[in-house]
Structure 1
Amino acid sequence: MEDAGIYARESNFLDRYVQLGIAQGRVLSVEFPYEPDAEAESTHELLDRIEAYLQGEEDEFADVTVALTMATDKRDVLEKVREIPYGDSGTVRQVTMMVPGRSPEDEDDLAAVQDALAANPAPIFIPTHRVNDGPSGMPSDVASKLRALEGL
């Protein structure tokens, strides 16, 4: 995937568009607008995969490169969330335990994990919807539909 641009496709399942920002073959952003960017193209292999996923095809998206241009502490959290498999879920406390140097007994660490989840630039590829009690980086109705899709 050596392309760049904005790509969007309407999803009947989500009742909105899935829009990707891609640069140098890496996903920069995933958004769920009601109307796509005027410059968005509708053809992209990742949109095909997302469409299949939204129709019930299991996909971990583990091979998708996400550009996490953020502070290391947030990036560490989001990288751990990528390890939560399709159909599984966890809690903010469990994610906090997964991140080296973080303790689920420390309120500041829990808050930092929640901040990282909320800052997720690439929902679906970084499945923060699988963290039951945390923010997901996507609209709540979209997160609810993805949880239902995966049986969570």
Structure 2
Amino acid sequence: MVSLGTTGVYAREYDALDRAVEVGFASGRVISVAFPPTPSADADADHELLDRIGDYLDGDEETFDEFEVALTVDTDERDVLETVKQIDYGEEVSVSQLTRMVGKDPNEPEDVEFVDETLRDNPVPLLIPDHRVQGGPYATPRAVRRSFREIEGI
């Protein structure tokens, strides 16, 4: 794991997104990723993860695996998010496939809705790449998602 420092908010504007990426940390672990129009006034722009996001936006194949994510969700939601995290760069799965991958039935509306809600509530989009799930709701805003998919060729 990469040493991420301590607790705080880090953000930087990226021309490729026409907006900022803001990352929250607690005890050296990533707890949130957001895409505000501009960085928060109190956010620090100097962080290794922001550098790596810039590399990703420039076309480098980044997995962000060495950055520890702190998920405060129940076990079933964690299973969905951890499965999404395993989708390789440049690959995609459908919501139905993801539902099946986490041991739920894609023909059961409640199972699909559970997966949809988990995707919509993803606290760390990009690090848990919901943009690689086709046809679902996303925590990643539409324009950002489109940019990520274009960068990855999906």
Q: Same fold (TM over 0.5)?
A: yes
Per-residue deviation, residues 24-62 of structure 1 (Å, max 9, x unmatched): 111010000012111100000000000000000001112
* 1:55 alignment partner in structure 2: 58
Alignment of 1:1-152 (within 5 A): 1-100=4-103, 102-152=104-154
In the TM superposition, what is the alpha-carbon distance from 1:2 to its structure 2 partner? 3.4
What is the CA RMSD across the aligned residues, in angstroms?
0.9
Counterpart Cα distance in 2 of 1:78 and 1:17: 23
The runs of at least 4 consecutive aligned structure 1 residues that moved more than 3 Å come to none
Offset from partner CA, 1:66-103 (integer Å, 9 cap, x none): 11112222111011000100000010011111113x11
**Which sections of structure 1, spanning at least 5 residues, go unmatched?**
none
**AA in 1 matched with 2:89:** Y
SS of 1:124 mapped into structure 2: coil
Which amino acid in the other structure matches residue 108 of structure 1? E
Q: TM-score, normalised by structure 2?
A: 0.95
Structure 2 residue runs of 5 or longer lacking an equivalent are none
The one-letter code sitting in structure 1 at the alignment partner of 2:76 is D
User: Partners in 2 of 1:69 and 1:133 — Cα distance?
Assistant: 25
For these two proteins, the number of residue pairs brought into alignment is: 151
In structure 2, what residue type is equivalent to 1:36? P
Task: State the identity %.
Answer: 48
